[in-house]
Every structure is written in C-alpha cells, then in structure tokens.
Structure 1
C-alpha cells in the first residue's frame, strides 16, 4: 500500500515514515514540497494520504480540494494533520473531503491506529471495486451469450423461410447488409444498426405460412393469390411479436412494415410517412432494390441502372426520401455488397 506523507517539516516526515514502515505491506512516499506531493498523487494511485495543514501553497485544504477533483480519488482516505484547537480548519477540511484527523504533536499510538483504520477502509474499497469489475465481466459475458443465442435463433428462422423459397438465400444476405448501410448513413445509433443487421433477415419469415403453389408460382399472381401473399407480413409479425428479445421485436416490426409505402398505398395497414417505423422504411428500400436486381420465378433480373431509376422515380411515393438518399450516398458500398454476395 502506497502511503503518501506531505509535510514541510523534515522531522515530522521522518517520524511518520518510521511509523508507516511498522505497518505490514506499506511503503511511505515522502514529500516536503506540497506541490510535488500533489502532482504525484494526481498522476498515481496512492492508498492513503497524510497531509499537514500548515504548509506553503498549496496548504492542506487546497491539497485535499485538488485531490478530490480527480474522480478516481473521490473516496481515497485522507488524514489531515492539524492542531487540536484548530476547529475551523477541521470543519473546512471536512468540507473539502478529509476522512479523518491526526493531532499535533503526532502521537505514535494514535497515528498507527488511525492509519490502520484508513488502510482497512482502502482495502475494502479495492476489494469492492475488484468485485464490481468481476461482476461486470460476468454480466458482459452473459449478455454476449444471450445475444449469440438470439442471433442463432434469427439465423435458423431465416433459414427456415429460405428452405421454403430457395431463391431468397442470397437476397437475405444482401438485403440485410443494405439495411445496415442505410441506417449508418442516416446516423442512427450504433446499437440499432447492429440490431437491424441481425433482425432484417427475418423480414419474410411469414412466407412459412404461404402455400407453395402461390409462393413458387412462375408468373404473376391473381388478385386472390396476391391477397394471400400479402398475409406473409401479418404471419411474420404474429410469429415474432411476443419475443422478449429486442432484436426479435425489431424483426417483428420489419416483417410487419416492410411492404408499407411512404404515400400510404402499401400493406398491410396502409401507413404513411413517419407513421411507418424507421426500420420498415429502411427495409423497404433494401428489399425492393435487391428483389429487382435478383431473378425470381415471376420476373427477370433488372439492371442496376433500371433498379436505381425505379428507386429515384418512387422516392416520396413508395420510399422514404431520406432512406433513398442515404442508399445512394453509399452507392459504392451497395455495389461491393452486391458483388460479395452474388449467388451466395
């Protein structure tokens, strides 16, 4: 334990140094100049400070005030040495943050008793801080484990939908990466971006409830068939909505809202503008762009230029203008994702 002793009287320094050396596991650090002692305490981590009141600037009160301004020294034990009759000084020292006092002239028995008490307090503080760090690490690992399990659940659910519709495998990967790009460009919080990356793969999970003869039909759907296809948004929401996981709750919202349109002509609820949650507006841009540039049973592949033109033409109608602008602001990233997951 590092015990800092600050006193401009050499005799007092030597006396207190000798007493500290009688305490097990303690090392005295002596400063006759209070400024040097203050600098050392601010740069290092003492375990106990013993400081005289009557010294050239900074005196004991100013010394304590400066030490307490350092957040990590907020609870550090500090003993002030003062005369017993200096009541006003003691009151001021308590206000500045002194923990206890030593009377002048210093009595060896009293010194050792008070120093032991202060060092016991310090050891308890350090033990408590160590325990807090251990608990924080245990919590971090537990939360990471929960997040890993959530991600595994999400991936497995997304794969379940993929088995129903094999064409969507690489679509899920690209669409998910596009959503993160848009969210980052919009300046949304980092934790939301990460959660979106894990939630977006389940946007079409409701297709598990769509009959194969409609889901895999090689051609355009009849109005009746399209009405059944539209239900995948509601089915996906019902599958996911009651999860306690924030990521899966976000996935439920994406499943429900990714076919809403900015002008209110989408489905299933015909929401408009900012009444559509931001995750739904982001997913709409990412989903449609990748669907257009992917081959499906009912359509051929669109060129990148034509798909980009479609997004621009429907900016403010189908799509949130801010999301479209963010998408094109990251056009280089869009092309890189398309190349990386081409046929994945």
Structure 2
C-alpha cells in the first residue's frame, strides 16, 4: 500500500476479468470517477497489484482459466504488499457456498453477474470510502507517532541534561573536575558490555540496562553536596571522625534518589541503578567497604561496576593530596585489589579491556590548567 495518500487524487480500481465485454462494461461504468487498471488473468493481476502505487480496490472475476479468482485472491492475501487491498468478487456463481468461499478468502463483498450498475457503483463507493478513511487514519497515526517520537527525544535529552547538571553540581564542591563524570560513565558502559555475556551478569547487563547504567553513573557522588567544605575540600588525610562524616555521602545520595521515587510514587530501573550506585559504590568485595560492609554478590552489580570505574579514574587523576598515577601504575594497583576490593571476574574483565579505559581517559582528559578537554 502507498506510504502517503493524496486525498484529492482519483482512487485506483483494478478490474480482473478474462471476458472483454465485462471489462468494457465495468470500465465505462467507473472510469469517470476512478482511475482504472485492467488485468485479463490472475497472474497479471498479481503483478499489477504489487506495483506501487497499488490499487485501492480490486474487482475480481471468479471463473478464469489457469488461475481462478479464488486462487488469485488467496495469493493476494498471502502477499504483505497486497493483503490490505479490498477485493470484491464479481461472478455468475450465486450459490451461498460460493459467496461463503469468497468471504472466507478475505473478500469484502460479492456481487453476482449480470451486474446491476447502481449496485456496483454503490458497493464500490462504500469500499473506497472505507479505504480513504483507513488511509487518513494511518496518515494521522504516523503523524502522531512522529510527534510522540520527537517529544520523547526532547524529553530524554532534557532528562540527560538535568542528570548531568545534578552530577556537575556535586563536582563543583569537590576536587573532582568536569570530565570525571564523563570518563566514569563511559568506563561503566565499557566494562558492562565486556561482561554482558557472562552467565553471572547476562540477566542484569542487557543492552537496555547498560544504557541506563551509563546514564545513571554520573550521579554516583551527588551525596557529596551534603558534606561540609572543611572535610570535602581538605587537602590532607582525613581524621577518623572526618572520614565517618565523609562516608555519609553515600547515604545522602541514596536519600536523594529515594525522595525522587517517593515524589513519583514509583521507581524504575534507572532510579534503581542510580540508588544502588550512589549508596554502594564504596563497598568492597571482601566486606571492608562502606556504608554496610557488604560482601561479594551482596553488593549490587551496578555498584561493583562503578567501583572499578571510580577507582581507576581516581588513580590516574591528579588531586591536591596526590599526584596522578600512570595508566600502567593504576592497572598494577588495581590488580592487587582483585578479590579484596573488586569482584574478581569484574577485575579480570577490566584487565582485558584496559586499552579501552585508556582511550576513554584520553578522550575526556583534563587540560594543563585542570579544565576539561574533550577530544
């Protein structure tokens, strides 16, 4: 069927009949109001019907040599290109069983020969009005679908911008620099893709969830907005008391996400990942992390991914309290954390794609002045 429909153009009728007199009669009856196409057998009808623009209606004789109307109808209905074209059978066979056969094959009407011109005109007009209405509805639906897709894209873009703004707000109060959130979200996505076929992770790391992890990762440190400046910005080592306050950023982050869920009255996978990451990305595989000293698989997968990404980026980044380690030095430090800080399988996956992490780090590296540079 046509993709678009000109409501002012003449509608097209395909007349299929092997008798010239019948074709002449029907053509003369219909040509003033409709555009007429002719086929003298079933095979020609199949060919003409499949050519764009396809007919709006087919008037089909039943009794034809080689391929009768029933078989022609069956093939038209079996072809996705032509199965929506309405078919009216025109035939001298007037038994109820004949009409039943035609309607079962998908015909919309059945007119007996010899035809009555007023009946033909009325029934043709009825079917073509239905075709016009259906095409108008399809065009309106396509327009609405286009509008919905466009607004959905704009909404998603706005949501992404809000997420990045929230994440950047947290970073303005920290020693982190702007591209940290860009790097870590890309690390998380790269590591998740590497692990997606693992039996341990395949059910969680679907393509859709990896996209959501990528979008939620920037929120991992939003809880730091609740930490006092004298602790958050302290250039030296924190005291034990100060460290206990610093640990609260995970709880503050989770509470922020929970407040969003309460406001919405529901949750979703994006918010679940954001909540898990903000609250548990400081947990360690051996249970020595915080805030709950979770051990092993009790740590959410999303948080374990974030732990690898966050530690790698912290190691290769310069801070007021430490120099930047080289890529190679960072890898060796992280290798020592296998089974203690990091999920062993995740760490192994990281070690297999360290070049990808290095490329991401270079793409979103910092300038000499500490400002963000994106390549």
Q: TM-score, normalised by structure 1?
A: 0.90
Give the SS at the match of 2:13.
strand
Query: Runs of 4 or more off by more than 6 Å in structure 1?
Result: none
* Per-residue deviation, 1:113: 0.8
Q: 2:227 aligns with which of 192, 207, 210?
A: 210
- Mark the runs of 5 or more structure 1 residues left unpaired by the alignment: none
Judge conservation of contact 1:9–1:32 (CA < 8 Å) in 2.
yes
- The residue number in structure 1 matching 2:45 is 37
Q: Do residues 299 (structure 1) and 322 (structure 2) align?
A: yes
Residue aligning to 2:336:
313
Check 1:186–1:22 CA distance in 2 against 1; reply closer, same or farther (3 A cut).
farther
1:270 matches 2:287:
no
Give the equivalent residue in structure 1 for 2:171. 162
Instruction: Give the direction of change, closer, same or farther, for the CA distance of 1:151–1:98 in structure 2 (3 Å limit).
Output: same
Q: Structure 1 residues 201, 59: CA separation in 2 closer, same or farther (over 3 Å shift)?
A: same
- Paired residues for 1:61-140 under 5 Å: 61-71=70-80, 73-83=82-92, 85-140=94-149
Cα offsets for 1:29-55 (capped at 9, x unmatched) = 111121121133234332112212222
Find the aligned partners of 1:56 and 1:330 in 2 and give their Cα distance.
Answer: 68
- Compare the two structures and name the one with the higher helix fraction: 1
- Change over 3 Å in CA distance of 1:322–1:135 after alignment to 2: farther
* Alignment partners' CA distance in 2, 1:136 and 1:316: 50
How many residues matched?
Answer: 342
Q: Distance in 2 between matches of 1:85 and 1:226?
A: 93
Corresponding residue SS for 1:129: helix
Compared with structure 1, are the counterparts of its residues 20 and 212 closer, same or farther at alpha carbon in structure 2 (3 Å cutoff)? same
Q: TM-score, normalised by structure 2?
A: 0.83
Q: Which runs of 5+ in 2 are unaligned?
A: 1-10, 197-204, 367-371
Residues 28 and 274 of structure 1: is their aligned pair in 2 closer, same or farther, counting only changes over 3 Å? farther
Residue 27 of structure 1 aligns with which residue? 35
Look up the match of 1:342.
365
1:201 aligned partner? 218
Do structure 1's residue 333 and structure 2's residue 356 form an aligned pair?
Answer: yes
In 2, the alpha carbon distance for the partners of 1:89 and 1:216 equals: 88
User: Which stretch of the first structure deviates more once superposed, 302-311 or 30-39?
Assistant: 302-311
Tell me the distance in 2 between the aligned counterparts of 1:286 and 1:164: 21
SS in 1 for 2:60: strand
